[in-house]
Amino acid sequence: MSDVVPTITLSLYGTSACHLCEEAEALLAQFLVEQPWQIELIDIADSDDMIDRYGTRIPVLASAADGRELNWPFDAESVLRFVYSENTK
pLDDT tens by residue, 1-20: 456 667 899 999 999 989 99
Encode 20-54: b = buried (16+ Cβ within 10 Å), e = exposed: ebeebeebbeebeeebeeebeebbbeeeeebeeeb
The DSSP secondary structure of 54-68, one letter per residue, reads HTTT-SEEEETTT--
pLDDT given at position 4: 67
Query: Which pLDDT band, with edges at 50, 70 and 90, does 85 fall under?
Result: confident
Domains (range + CATH), the chain: 8-85 (3.40.30.10)
User: Model pTM?
Assistant: 0.88
Is residue 81 within 8 Å of residue 87, measured between CB atoms?
Answer: no
pLDDT at 88 over 50: no
